[in-house]
Structure 1
Amino acid sequence: MKLTNKRVLLTGASGGIGQALAFELASRGAHLILVGRNGPAMNELVKRLPGAAYHQVMTVKHYSHDEISELREVLQYEPRLDVLINNAGTQCFRWLEKQSFGDIHAQLYTNTEVPILLTRALLDRFNAEGMVVNVGSIMGDIGYPGYSLYCASKFALRGFSEALSRELADTGIRVVYVAPRATDTSLNSEAMVEMNRLLGNKSDSPQWVASQIITAIQKRRLRTRLGFPERFFVKINALLPTLVDNALIRKLAVIQQFARTSLKPGAKKS
């Protein structure tokens, strides 16, 4: 897909990956609809984007059902969409017993229900060769201690993406799923950063992740998983999960040290 003059709706536009995606898309001539909670940040972002006059901002407070319905109503009177990028997300790196009901609901709602609701609301607003892009996670393939709810939400998003892709196989609309590994954004808490350092876990820049998402869009690639050895462990986990069980059990003491802390959890991508 060539992105010149394509209309792209991007959620989580003020977050690290969101901002990087906005620059990548705008530099290729796309016309952006930036959706997120932080209106001032998105307005400042638009001023710095190539072709600022072609982009617009839509602020939501909670991605509530009413706000999603209002978004659909507004877009009903505008040109059709070419791409929807479901990028907004949140996570809480904590042992399950340390997570509140609010923490649990926020992750399941933001990471799973919101992309599904947005896709459902806008599915008939796409051009014939439109595309839904769901930004998942390697943790949508591998259950990782301390991320039980985040993994649950991303496993669900991956399943939704796969099923919807097959559901729409006889149409021109494609569903693309991209799964980054750890990425250097404000979503990471201090505990997460320190744990990854001690365990030697690698992370990527938002700019690199955004470039890989753009490549997946351009090539209309249905599934993309980022990072090595993470891609390798996804295959091992699918075929021989006990090997991954044992590898993570050996790291469990270090993971517990940080997942049980009271350090502030990761911020929301908005």
Structure 2
Amino acid sequence: MRLPEVRAVLTGASGGIGLAIANDLCASGARVLAVARRREALAPLLARYPNQLCWVGADLTFLADRHKVSSAAQAMGGINLLINAAGVNQFAMLEQLDDSDINAMLAVNVSASICLTRTLLPLLKQAESAMVVNVGSTYGSIGYPGYAVYCATKFALRGFSEALRRELADTRVGVLYVAPRATRTSMNSPAAQALNDALKSNVDDPQTVASAVIHAIAGDRRDLYLGWPERFFMRLNSLLPKLVDRGLRKQLPLIHRLSQKPDNENLEP
């Protein structure tokens, strides 16, 4: 896909990975409809790229707001790229979560992405070539304690991406699934960051992830898994899950201790 010819809808555009992707797309000459609940973080980019970047305020868990995004996409002359980068996460053991916490993660990470994709597919199919990009996670391939619901949502997004790619195989719309490892964004609560620090986990900068995503879009990739040794552990988990079970079992005392700290909902807006 030629980046200067891109007309994109980008969700989660005002935070972390989404904001970095918005910057890179505009710098490459693309036109971007940035979808976010808040405008403030996007203000510098809107000022820098007034002819390429526009914002629509939306909560994608609401049907009316998804229709508002669709209307804005039509007003910009159609689109050939949809990037589902909005997400919400909460580091906690399952018993610590309320139903509202669980439903929020399912609604934002799974339902909103699937429903927005369905809404925008007719526009995408009108383009000479188009792509849907779903931003998942390493935790879409490895179930990790303290992230049971988040993992469930990212496993679902990975499955959705695979099935949708096959469903659209006879169209001009491709599907790219992106699996970042831990990334330095507002999604990481202090407790989650403390866990990363204690385990000496590799944590990427959002700009690093965004650059890799842009490169994958330009190369018409079908999937992108970021980080080593994370890719190795994902492969190991698929081949020898009991071995991974034993390794993660040793981390449980630390995970239990850190997850007891109050942890508010964290999201990419």
1:197 has 2:197 as partner: yes
Match for residue 5 of structure 1?
5
**C-alpha distance in structure 2 between counterparts of 1:61 and 1:129, whole Å:** 28
1:16 has 2:20 as partner: no
**C-alpha distance in structure 2 between counterparts of 1:165 and 1:61, whole Å:** 26
User: What secondary structure sits across from 1:128 in the alignment?
Assistant: coil
Would the aligned equivalents of 1:91 and 1:265 in 2 still touch at CA under 8 Å?
no
**C-alpha distance in structure 1 between counterparts of 2:132 and 2:242, whole Å:** 34
Return 67-76 or 190-199, whichever deviates more: 67-76
Q: 1:79 aligns with which of 59, 77, 80?
A: 77
Deviation string 1:132-155 (CA, Å, 9 cap, x unpaired) is 000000000000000000000000
Q: 2:66 aligns with which of 48, 51, 68?
A: 68
What count of residue pairs does the alignment treat as equivalent? Answer: 267
1:242 has 2:242 as partner: yes
Would the aligned equivalents of 2:165 and 2:175 in 1 still touch at CA under 8 Å?
yes
User: What secondary structure sits across from 1:38 in the alignment?
Assistant: coil
**C-alpha distance in structure 1 between counterparts of 2:247 and 2:168, whole Å:** 38
**C-alpha distance in structure 2 between counterparts of 1:82 and 1:62, whole Å:** 20
Would the aligned equivalents of 2:33 and 2:73 in 1 still touch at CA under 8 Å?
no
Deviation string 1:72-130 (CA, Å, 9 cap, x unpaired) is 23433441211100000000000111111111011011001111011000001011310
Segments of structure 1 that go 5 or more residues without pairing to the other structure are none
TM-score (norm 2): 0.96
- Cα 1:121–1:55 change in 2 (3 A) is same
* Corresponding letter in the other structure for 2:92: R
**C-alpha distance in structure 2 between counterparts of 1:132 and 1:62, whole Å:** 16
Deviation at 1:193, TM superposition (A): 0.7
- Cα 1:266–1:45 change in 2 (3 A) is farther
**C-alpha distance in structure 1 between counterparts of 2:210 and 2:255, whole Å:** 28
TM-score (norm 1): 0.95
User: What secondary structure sits across from 1:81 in the alignment?
Assistant: coil
Deviation string 1:58-83 (CA, Å, 9 cap, x unpaired) is 00145311211232234334412111
Match for residue 53 of structure 1?
51
User: What secondary structure sits across from 1:146 in the alignment?
Assistant: coil
Match for residue 92 of structure 2?
94
Match for residue 266 of structure 2?
267
1:110 has 2:108 as partner: yes
Match for residue 123 of structure 1?
121
Aligned-pair identity (%) = 44
The list of structure 1 runs, each at least 4 consecutive aligned residues, that deviate by more than 4 angstroms after superposition, is none
**C-alpha distance in structure 2 between counterparts of 1:34 and 1:189, whole Å:** 25
Query: Pairwise mapping of residues 95-174 of structure 1 onto structure 2 (< 5 A)?
Result: 95-126=93-124, 127-174=127-174
User: What secondary structure sits across from 2:87 in the alignment?
Assistant: coil
Would the aligned equivalents of 1:186 and 1:266 in 2 still touch at CA under 8 Å?
no
Return 57-66 or 199-208, whichever deviates more: 57-66
* Corresponding letter in the other structure for 2:201: N
Match for residue 212 of structure 2?
212
User: What secondary structure sits across from 1:122 in the alignment?
Assistant: helix
Deviation string 1:190-234 (CA, Å, 9 cap, x unpaired) is 001111111111110000000111111011111111111110011
How large is the RMSD of aligned CA atoms in angstroms?
Answer: 1.3
